């Protein structure tokens, strides 16, 4: 790697932070079952401790996404939660309301045909906005399980209208420095018509809600053949890309660790962001977040693996020679254009990563350092004992 490329990769790493999800440290799994781990986090204190440990090792995960229902107890002071996060060396990041677990939401939340349920869902989101204000969080991250399972079950247009109306009402309460992210997903749990099923719907709803609403792209929330980087490029061009939920998948919303199946796709997404930034002369403001579920892998190891992979692919994508790419594109030189991407993808960025970690007083290999630290063993012993003392059966949280 030339000194010029090394500098470019290091500059990209300086700009890159990624948020870890609190639920990624707890016992999570599939809807068929969970395999419990002794070291899995029991409460928010454990989750913030684990997130702080990951940040201390990787140096690029300063914030933690929290789920209101799973992480905040009724009557709990959010300021105390923010303080606890600070104690562990992290900050509270995106606030995720929960609009899918309560029995009231059987027929939907923002898309429910009963105005009382819509109001209840809105009130829960307004409580979440209050948590944002108290914790200093910048992002309200919305995902809706709403939809219908059978043809004819609901009026697709009426449900669209309920969403427009309720999102607009919520947007009015979002502060000037806060952003409301609207996530989409084609199917599951709804299997006929999900109310916010694709990026076009999320885009339209966000546009109608107001200027502080943006689209959130969860990489696992697409049909298998969909071109995600094209969606990303369009959203960037429209200034409507608010953030990402990163994960990988082979079939549907598998929530596997990032880059475990298709690292080149993640590279292509990052390339579109770097290319856009080069054309505009300014990096876009994007909330990079992880949304994964680790049923088999140890939670912290899986998180570190994802973070390191994200850094590596972000750095690789920064190496694309944009001038050479533009020249090849101008001449319709398909082969050279593609090779510009491939060249960057296959560049070994480990010297740049090593230099960046050294400059930031971090261990050369965060995963190895984690294994050396003994954190997992201590956490497992402590949490096993606490579970026993509390009479807890393992589980909870994510289905």
Contacts of 129 (CB under 8 A, 6+ apart): 95, 140, 170, 173, 174, 175, 178
Nearer residue to Mn ion within complex by CB, 257 or 376: 257
Contacts of 203 (CB under 8 A, 6+ apart): 215, 235, 238, 240
Nearer residue to Mn ion within complex by CB, 42 or 142: 142
Q: Is 357 helix (H, G, I), strand (E, B) or coil?
A: helix
Q: Which two tokens stand for residue 112?
A: 């429910």
Task: Scan for tokens 């932070």, then name that residue.
Answer: 17
Which listed range, 47-55, 236-244, 245-253, 361-369, lies at the site for Mn ion (CB under 5 A)?
A: 245-253
Q: Is 297 helix (H, G, I), strand (E, B) or coil?
A: coil
d(CA 74, CA 51): 23
For the bound state, the minimum distance from the C-beta of residue 245 to Mn ion, rounded and expressed in Å, comes to 4
Nearer residue to Mn ion within complex by CB, 118 or 245: 245
Which listed range, 82-90, 217-225, 234-242, 310-318, lies at the site for Mn ion (CB under 5 A)?
A: 217-225
Which listed range, 88-96, 106-114, 243-251, 327-335, lies at the site for Mn ion (CB under 5 A)?
A: 243-251
For the bound state, the minimum distance from the C-beta of residue 183 to Mn ion, rounded and expressed in Å, comes to 6
For the bound state, the minimum distance from the C-beta of residue 255 to Mn ion, rounded and expressed in Å, comes to 9
Q: Which two tokens stand for residue 305?
A: 């693996």
d(CA 173, CA 171): 5
**How many residues bind Mn ion, per CB under 5 A?**
3
Contacting residue, 214, 245, 274, 316, with Mn ion by CB under 5 A: 245
For the bound state, the minimum distance from the C-beta of residue 167 to Mn ion, rounded and expressed in Å, comes to 17
Nearer residue to Mn ion within complex by CB, 31 or 157: 31
Which listed range, 46-54, 106-114, 249-257, 284-292, lies at the site for Mn ion (CB under 5 A)?
A: 284-292
φ and ψ of 217, to 5 deg: -100, 115
Binding of residue 46 to Mn ion (CB under 5 A): no
**For the chain, first and last CA: distance in Å?**
44
Burial group, residue 207, by CB count within 10 angstroms (0-12, 13-18, 19+): middle
Which listed range, 97-105, 215-223, 227-235, 363-371, lies at the site for Mn ion (CB under 5 A)?
A: 215-223
Contacting residue, 138, 195, 218, 253, with Mn ion by CB under 5 A: 218
Contacting residue, 291, 305, 320, 366, with Mn ion by CB under 5 A: 291
A 10 A CB-CB count for 370 gives 22
Q: Rounded to whole angstroms, what are the CA distances from 27 to 81, 280, 301, 305?
A: 21, 42, 14, 18
Q: Which residues bind Mn ion (CB under 5 A)?
A: 218, 245, 291
């Amino acid at each position: 790697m030339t000194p010029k490329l090394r500098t470019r990769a290091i500059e990209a790493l300086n700009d890159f932070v990624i948020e870890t999800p609190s639920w990624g440290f707890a016992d999570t799994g599939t809807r068929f079952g969970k395999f419990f781990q002794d070291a899995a986090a029991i409460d928010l204190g454990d989750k913030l401790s684990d997130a702080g440990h990951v940040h201390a090792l990787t140096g690029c995960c300063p914030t933690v996404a929290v789920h209101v229902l799973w992480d905040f107890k009724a009557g709990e002071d959010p300021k105390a939660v923010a303080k606890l996060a600070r104690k562990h060396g992290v900050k509270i990041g995106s606030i995720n309301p929960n609009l899918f677990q309560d029995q009231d939401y059987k027929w939907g939340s923002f898309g429910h045909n009963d105005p009382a349920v819509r109001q209840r869902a809105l009130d829960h989101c307004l409580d979440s906005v209050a948590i944002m204000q108290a914790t200093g969080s910048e992002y309200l991250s919305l995902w809706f399980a709403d939809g219908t399972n059978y043809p004819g079950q609901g009026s697709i247009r009426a449900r669209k209208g309920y969403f427009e109306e309720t999102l607009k009402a919520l947007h009015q309460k979002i502060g000037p420095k806060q952003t409301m992210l609207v996530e989409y997903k084609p199917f599951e749990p709804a299997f006929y018509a999900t109310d916010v099923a694709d990026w076009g719907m999320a885009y339209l709803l966000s546009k109608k809600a107001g200027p502080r609403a943006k689209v959130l792209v969860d990489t696992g929330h697409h049909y298998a053949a969909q071109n995600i980087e094209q969606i990303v490029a369009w959203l960037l061009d429209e200034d409507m890309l608010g953030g990402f939920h990163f994960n990988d998948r082979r079939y549907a919303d598998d929530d596997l660790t990032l880059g475990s199946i298709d690292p080149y796709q993640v590279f292509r997404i990052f390339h579109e962001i770097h290319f856009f930034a080069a054309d505009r002369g300014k990096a876009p403001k994007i909330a990079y977040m992880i949304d994964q579920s680790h049923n088999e892998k140890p939670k912290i190891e899986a998180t570190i693996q994802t973070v390191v992979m994200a850094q590596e692919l972000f750095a690789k994508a920064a190496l694309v020679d944009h001038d050479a790419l533009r020249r090849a594109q101008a001449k319709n030189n398909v082969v050279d254009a593609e090779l510009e991407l491939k060249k960057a993808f296959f560049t070994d960025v480990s010297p740049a990563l090593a230099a960046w970690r050294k400059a930031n007083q971090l261990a050369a290999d965060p995963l190895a350092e984690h294994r050396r630290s003994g954190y997992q063993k201590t956490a497992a012993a402590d949490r096993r004992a606490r579970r026993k003392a509390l009479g807890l059966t393992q589980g909870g949280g994510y289905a």
